[in-house]
Amino acid sequence: MNTTRHYGREAVELGYRAIKVLVLAPSFPAINQPWIDTYLEQLLRQGFEPLIFTCNSSPGKYSEKVDRLNLRQHIVDIDLRGPAFVRAFVKSIVTCPWKCIESIAKSFRVTRLLAGKYSVSFLPTFLKTLRFGFSCPEFEQVDIIHSHDEVLAFEFLLCGLMLGKPLVYTFHGLQPKGVPPLADAKRRALYGEVSTVLVNTEFSKQQVQHIGCPPGKAHVLPQGLPLEDFPFVPRPAPGKNESVSLLTVGRYHADKGQRYALLALRRLRDRGVDAYWHFVGVGPDMGNLVAFAERYGVGQHSIFHSSLNLVEILNLYQRCDLFILPSLSSRIDNRHVETQGVVLQEAQASGCIPIATKVGGIPECLHDKEDAILVKDRSSRAIADAVCYLLYRPDEWACYQEKGRHNVERNFSADVIGRSMAKILTGVVQEKRSV
């Protein structure tokens, strides 16, 4: 009798059940992190069973896809804080002392390994490891842990080593200014013991190798875009006497370069271009950007949006003429730089021609003067020149738009990326089981 069960498009059979993936997300659900919704959707499509651990599950504004796919029902409500650990520890001593002793012994072995090989602090690591032996019986049922945050990746590396579960970590880029990185010893331990590290571009692969990941563990897998969510609705180039609508989507933060966009808007209007600029994002710098726009006389021509849902963002992609991503390179090592810029794929899929800076992994994802325009960063003149370059070539817009959509379909389709991800996760689980 054939006992193989097929789930979705891939056979991700493990014994007689679907592979259980413990997904670690710093915040879920969140309106500004649609990539995690796409990832979870692909897990379900490919036949995996996700369990979601998040540090912040407060139901703020989030995508309708979360409820449509019932993603919140996959959140595991686990309290790893000290008081909960103490209660679980005392209960284990009373009800199951032998298991308590076994957990202490396992925690000691894991901590001795990490302290000896990587010089992590013994007592804090031992206590953090021990809590996984008492507070989290649900974790014993998972087959693989997949973290989307470096700090969580180290914390749950302890869980994986204690329970014998492999860990995969998706590196989303270096931390922005003001966010402390993982301590050096913990980084050495993480990249020394993790099974696989996924990165979205060759640029981010070089980044993660620079901070300690062995070359053989890093694998390029771009973030995928659900094409069905982004219909292709290309706009014709605006006429000579028509206004021009420009769009930027990204976190309100200095490293996203919105100030250079506002200065470019000032230049365009000085050149006689009747331009208006829509900004979409969340973050601490929005108020400063509004004040900056007023200071340079473009306050009435710049519109700032916050926490838009997918329908609202799609509307902007479809009614704006050009998309601009003015992200900045970092002048300091180990700072955040754009690694892929998924909003570029959103724009291209929708038929909105992108103009983007040549920083980080962006040049790997676009083709200059074919499906996009690439410019140097920190230059409002370069941005304004690129806008005018396209406005002066209205007959070329359809070609740019069609090639842009084809670029996303060929290289960034969520279904294609999802099948590749399924093979990677399944391979890691099978390799762990064969050891």
Give domain limits for the chain: 13-78+136-224+414-434, 227-411
C-beta atoms surrounding 191 within 10 Å: 25
- Supply 435's token pair: 């050891």
Asked, colleague to colleague, whether 13-78+136-224+414-434 and 227-411 share their fold, the answer is yes
pLDDT digits (tens, 9 = 90+) for 335-394: 679 999 999 999 999 999 999 999 999 999 999 999 999 999 999 999 999 999 999 999
Give the closest residue to 221 by CA, choosing from 339, 110, 327, 137.
Answer: 339
Question: pLDDT-based confidence at 96, cuts 50/70/90?
Answer: confident
pLDDT at 6: 38
Give the closest residue to 179 by CA, choosing from 81, 251, 118.
Answer: 251
Inter-residue contact 35 to 342 (CB < 8 Å) = yes
pLDDT at 333: 61
pLDDT at 5: 35
Q: In 164-225, which residue ranges form alpha helices assigned H by DSSP?
A: 184-193, 202-210
pLDDT at 174: 87
pLDDT at 175: 81
Give the closest residue to 372 by CA, choosing from 392, 345, 400, 411.
Answer: 400
pLDDT at 59: 65
pLDDT at 4: 34
CA–CA dist 147, 130 (Å, integer): 20
- Name the fold adopted by 227-411: Rossmann fold (3.40.50)
pLDDT at 61: 83
pLDDT digits (tens, 9 = 90+) for 182-192: 999 999 999 99
pLDDT at 98: 80
Is pLDDT above 90 for 7?
Answer: no
pLDDT at 434: 86
The 3-state DSSP class for residue 229 equals helix
Regarding predicted confidence, which is higher, 91 or 9? 91
Give the closest residue to 346 by CA, choosing from 335, 357, 356, 336.
Answer: 356
Regarding predicted confidence, which is higher, 85 or 414? 414
- Supply 242's token pair: 């028509």
CA–CA dist 195, 166 (Å, integer): 6
Is pLDDT above 50 for 179?
Answer: yes
- Predicted TM-score of the model (pTM): 0.91
Is pLDDT above 90 for 417?
Answer: yes
C-alpha distances out from residue 411 to 225, 229, 232, 350, Å: 10, 16, 16, 15
Question: pLDDT-based confidence at 90, cuts 50/70/90?
Answer: confident
Question: pLDDT-based confidence at 79, cuts 50/70/90?
Answer: confident
pLDDT digits (tens, 9 = 90+) for 248-290: 999 999 999 999 999 999 999 999 999 999 999 988 899 999 9
Q: Is the N-terminal amide bond of 29 cis, ω within 30° of 0? A: yes
Give the closest residue to 107 by CA, choosing from 79, 77, 127.
Answer: 127
The 3-state DSSP class for residue 254 equals helix
Question: pLDDT-based confidence at 86, cuts 50/70/90?
Answer: confident
pLDDT digits (tens, 9 = 90+) for 131-169: 887 767 778 889 999 999 999 999 999 999 999 999 999
CA–CA dist 113, 383 (Å, integer): 52
Is pLDDT above 50 for 233?
Answer: yes
Regarding predicted confidence, which is higher, 99 or 425? 425
What is the rounded average pLDDT of the residues 31-43? 93
Average pLDDT of the residues of the chain = 91
- CATH classification code of 13-78+136-224+414-434: 3.40.50.2000
pLDDT at 135: 66
pLDDT at 334: 58
CA–CA dist 347, 330 (Å, integer): 24
Give the gyration radius of the chain's Cα atoms. Answer: 24
